[in-house]
């Protein structure tokens, strides 16, 4: 008789058990007609799990909640499988990686994901902290995987199943290629695992996120975007209204409608070609990259913009100023397909000036960028007039990190590409 797993179809925590069941030859079925927020609120369900969370496994001996515990149970139902390794040490390492995956990977992915979904308050510094903790964990995982195909031993174990399901949420919702390319062994590991037949059967075709999940509009910290200067206490985290917690699980959101920029008439300028030229030009930058830029530039398909930070007098500490610009570029990740940017931190003494140059698809700054990236309001934006040779020269200098820039040294030059 099949064991019944109560959860929605797209629940990555349920995937752990379903994949473990495939490997262990245990018959587990999803509860039919399960409806998140309804089925898990009934008195019967609350007897399974008093806090109403999924997944829950219904067994002849009673219910089990907590997805890792359920997966462990399913694996142990069949003593004949290798999902716990073949020695006490393997067993300990499987447990080690399950905890690591849960506490260092999944917890940080959720701390990045939930505020964006409107489940908790969105605070940019908290997001930065989650991303930085996640990168630390992925760095450690990457190092381990540099010399190991699987987490433990030479075969798939339960640790790989749980790790892959946790990474699945990161790869499909938040971690774009530009993010994961820093961790090539994690990439290789993830794509190898999700393409194993028993994983593939449950997960289907897996597609990496092209953009970071956008922040739900109710969560955008508009107020954080520097309202009246006097009114805002400087270092305070942006205030946003906490949305009531939705009775929804972490399921993949509905497919996003097409970005309107994809519907623009085709442009002769291929943004990726320009980005490659920029990255690959190591010498004669002016003659090769800058000339190439102006040869490629299509003023009908793209527009150029200068931006000037509105609050330069606050840029009194060099690393804080550089971090601020770094955070801005991180939040611009959602525009990677449609934009290129240079941000300069100018001066040798504080207060430092921050100026930038951006190339956007279309004739306007894309609305989704204005909506999703609160930093936009911290800058004064001016469209470039490319018939003005002086403005064109300024652009060339910004792309080139020309020094001195407007008579001053550069403290930092960051590129968004």
Q: Find the angle CA(412)-CA(227)-CA(405) to the nearest 5 degrees.
A: 25
Q: Within 10 A of 200 (CB to CB), how many other CB atoms are there?
A: 15
Indicate the SS3 state at residue 86: coil
H/E stretch holding 155: none
Strand (E) or helix (H) holding 330? helix 318-331
Q: Tell me which of 3, 13, 174, 369 binds ligand GSH, using CB under 6 A.
A: 13
Question: 52 or 362: whose CB is closer to ligand GSH?
Answer: 52
Minimum distance between the CB of residue 78 and ligand GSH, rounded to whole angstroms? 21
| Strand residues in 60-149 grouped as ranges (E) | 62-65
**Which residue number, 11 or 219, has a Cβ lying nearer to ligand GSH?**
11
Rounded to a whole number of angstroms, the minimum distance from the CB of residue 11 to ligand GSH is 5
CA distance 11 to 202: 11
Task: Provide CB contacts within 8 A for 200, sequence distance 6+.
Answer: 194
The site for ligand GSH, by CB under 6 A, has a size of 11
Shortest separation between residue 211's beta carbon and ligand GSH, angstroms? 22
Which residue, 21 or 290, is less far from ligand GSH as judged by CB? Answer: 21
For ligand GSH, the closer of residues 11 and 101 by Cβ is: 11
Rounded to a whole number of angstroms, the minimum distance from the CB of residue 252 to ligand GSH is 11
Considering the complex, what minimum distance in angstroms separates the CB of residue 37 from ligand GSH? 8
Cβ nearer to ligand GSH, comparing 89 with 247: 247
Using the rule CB under 6 A, which residue among 11, 101, 173, 315 binds ligand GSH?
11
* Residue 310 is a binding residue for ligand GSH (CB under 6 A): no
**In the complex, minimum distance from the CB of residue 146 to ligand GSH, in angstroms, rounded to a whole number:** 29
Q: What are phi and psi of 200, to 5 degrees?
A: -60, -35
Within 226-265, which residues bind ligand GSH (CB under 6 A)? 247, 249-250
Using an 8 Å Cβ cutoff, are 131 and 175 in contact?
A: no
| Stretch 40-79 residues interacting with ligand GSH (CB under 6 A) | 52-55, 66-67
When the beta carbons of 53 and 417 are compared against ligand GSH, the nearer one is 53
**Is 173 among the residues that bind ligand GSH (CB under 6 A)?**
no
The DSSP code sequence of 214-261 is: PPPGGG--GGGS--STTTS-TTPPPP-PPPPPPS--SPPPPPPPPPGG
* Closer residue to ligand GSH, CB minimum distance, 56 or 378: 56
Residue pair 316/356 in contact (Cβ under 8 Å)? The answer is: no
CB of 218 to ligand GSH, least distance (A): 18
CA distance 18 to 5: 9
In the complex, the residues that contact ligand GSH under the rule CB under 6 A are 11, 13, 52-55, 66-67, 247, 249-250
């Amino acid at each position: 008789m099949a064991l019944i797993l109560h959860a929605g179809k797209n629940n990555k925590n349920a995937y752990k058990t379903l994949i473990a069941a495939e490997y262990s030859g245990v018959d587990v079925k999803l509860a039919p007609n399960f409806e998140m927020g309804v089925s898990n609120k009934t008195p019967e369900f609350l007897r399974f799990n008093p806090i109403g969370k999924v997944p829950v496994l219904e067994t002849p001996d009673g219910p089990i909640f907590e997805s890792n515990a359920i997966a462990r149970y399913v694996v142990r139902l069949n003593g004949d499988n290798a999902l716990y390794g073949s020695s006490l040490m393997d067993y300990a390492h499987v447990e080690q990686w399950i905890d690591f995956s849960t506490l260092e990977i999944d917890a940080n992915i959720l701390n990045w994901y939930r505020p964006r979904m409107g489940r908790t308050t969105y605070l940019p510094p908290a997001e930065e902290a989650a991303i930085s903790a996640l990168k630390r964990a992925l760095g450690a995982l990457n190092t381990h995987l540099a010399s190991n195909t699987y987490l433990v031993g030479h075969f798939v174990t339960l640790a790989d199943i749980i790790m892959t399901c946790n990474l699945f949420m990161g790869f499909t919702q938040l971690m774009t290629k530009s993010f994961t390319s820093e961790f090539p062994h994690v990439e290789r590991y993830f794509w190898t695992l999700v393409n194993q037949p028993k994983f593939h059967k449950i997960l289907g075709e897996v597609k990496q996120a092209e953009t970071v999940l956008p922040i739900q509009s109710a969560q955008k910290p508009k107020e954080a975007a520097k309202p009246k200067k006097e009114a805002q206490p400087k270092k305070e985290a942006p205030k946003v209204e906490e949305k009531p917690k939705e009775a929804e699980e972490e399921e993949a959101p509905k497919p996003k409608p097409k970005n309107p920029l994809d519907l623009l008439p085709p442009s002769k300028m291929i943004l990726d070609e320009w980005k490659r030229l920029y990255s690959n030009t190591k010498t004669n930058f002016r003659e090769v990259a800058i000339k190439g830029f102006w040869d490629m530039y299509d003023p009908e398909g793209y527009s150029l913009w200068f931006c000037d930070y509105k609050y330069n007098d606050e840029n009194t500490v060099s690393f804080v100023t550089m971090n601020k610009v770094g955070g801005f570029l991180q939040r611009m990740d959602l525009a990677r397909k449609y934009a290129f940017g240079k941000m300069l931190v100018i001066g040798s003494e504080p207060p430092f000036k921050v100026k930038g140059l951006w190339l956007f698809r279309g004739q306007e700054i894309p609305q989704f960028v204005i909506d999703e990236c609160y930093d936009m309001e911290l800058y004064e934006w001016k469209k470039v007039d490319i018939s003005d040779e002086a403005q064109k020269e300024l652009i060339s200098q910004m792309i080139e990190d020309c020094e001195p820039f407007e008579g001053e040294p550069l403290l930092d030059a960051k590129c968004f590409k």
